[in-house]
Structure 1
C-alpha cells in the first residue's frame, strides 16, 4: 500500500521560506509545482500554530490546483485542521503508529530517519515512506553530524520495504548517485527554494529521475 501511495512523486520538495531570497513562499512553491513537483512538505518550524495553519490552508489550495500532495511537518493537529494529505515526522518525534491512529489509513505518513534502527522502527510503526540522510552535506542538517554517505543509504534501502527518499544536499550533480544507490526518489530544500527559477530547477531535477512527473 505504501508504494502505491508514493510512487507518483519521485521528487519531494520541503519548504524553507528563509531560503527563498525574500520571495514569497507561495510563489516559489507555485513555480516548483508548475515545473512538475507533485509532493510538498510544509516545514516552517518557527511559525506560530495559527500562522502555520493559515499557510497550510493556502498551500493546500495551491497544491490542489496542480493535483499535488501536501504534508505538514510534525503537526498532526495542523494537518487535520487544514485537510492536507499527511504528516512528516521526525525520527525522535511522535511514533508513526500513534500518528496513524490519529490520521486514519488514507493519509500519508513520512518519517525522517538518520539511522537504520530509525528506518526499521518507522516501517514497523506503519509509515508509508521515509527520508534518509543527510546523504551529502547540507547546512540545514548539520546538527545531525557528518553526512552519512551513499553506502548507508543503500543499506537502508535494502533493510526496509518502504520507499526511501534520499535527503540532504541533493543537487542536479548528485541526484543520479542517490538513485543509483536504490533510492525511490529525492527530497530537497535549497536546490529548488533557493534557485533563481524554481520551475526550471524542478524540471531539470525531474529529468534526471527514472520516471519524472509530467512537465507542465
Structure 2
C-alpha cells in the first residue's frame, strides 16, 4: 500500500458489469481488491446511498475502503473522489482524491491537500473518449512530479502496470476489465507485486 490506497483501485461502472454491482464487487474482493470507487452518479440519491451501503458491507470484512465519487452527500462518507471540476468539500472528509488530466489540475489537487489523484487517460480507452490524447508513460511521469500519490487510469492492462510504476505512479485504477471479469484483479495484483488471494 502506498499512501492511503492499495496499489489497485477498482472503479465501478454498472453498464459494463458482468452482474449486479454488489456481486461484481464481491467477486473482485474475493480476488483481492481492497479499494473501490463507487461512481454511478446518475442514480437517484436514495438508490446510490443504498448501493454504497451494499458495497461498504462487501468491503468491511476484509478491511477494504469504499470511496464515493462526487462531493459527499447528506449521509456523508469518510472517503470521496472528486472530478477535476468539483469544488473541494467543506468540511473536509477524512480522505479526498481527485481526477486529473493536466499539470494544472494536478497542481490544484496538491495545493488542496488531496490524499491521491487519478491521472488519466494514460492509454487509449473507450471509457474516456473526451479526455485524450493518451498521456503514455512519459506524460504520466511528467504529471507525477509534485503530485499527491498518483494512480494511473485509462486503458491500463496488467502488462502496462510496470511502465506506470516506473513512471512514478503509486498504483493503477481499473474499471472496464474488472467490471467485465472481476477475476482479473489477481492479474493486476500480480503485476503490482502484491499478494493475490
**TM-score interval (norm. to shorter):** over 0.9
Distance 1:31 1:15 in 2: 13
Matched, 1:191 2:177: yes
* 1:94 CA drift (Å): 1.5
TM-score, length of structure 1 as denominator length: 0.86
Query: Which of 111, 124, 134 in structure 2 is aligned with 1:124?
Result: 111
2:33 maps to: 37
Equivalences for 1:45-194 in 2 at 5 Å?
45-77=41-73, 80=76, 84-95=77-88, 99=89, 101-104=90-93, 107-160=94-147, 162-194=148-180
Distance 1:71 1:119 in 2: 19
* 1:159 CA drift (Å): 3.0
* 1:148 CA drift (Å): 1.8
* 1:4 CA drift (Å): 3.9
Q: Deviations over 1:170-208 (max 9, x none)?
A: 11221221112111000010111112xx13x11111001
Distance 1:170 1:67 in 2: 25
* 1:43 CA drift (Å): 0.5
Distance 2:74 2:60 in 1: 17
Runs of 4+ in 1 over 4 A off after TM superposition: none
* 1:78 CA drift (Å): 5.4
Query: Which of 11, 14, 18 in structure 1 is aligned with 2:15?
Result: 18
Distance 1:4 1:166 in 2: 15
* 1:122 CA drift (Å): 0.3
Distance 2:172 2:44 in 1: 29
Q: Deviations over 1:109-129 (max 9, x none)?
A: 110000011001001001000
Matched, 1:206 2:189: yes
Q: Which one has a larger percent helix, Structure 1 or Structure 2?
A: 1
Q: Secondary structure at the match of 1:110?
A: strand
Q: What RMSD, in angstroms, separates the aligned Cα atoms of the two structures?
A: 1.5
Question: Aligned pair count?
Answer: 196
Cα 1:29/1:89, change in 2 over 3 Å: same
Distance 1:113 1:33 in 2: 26
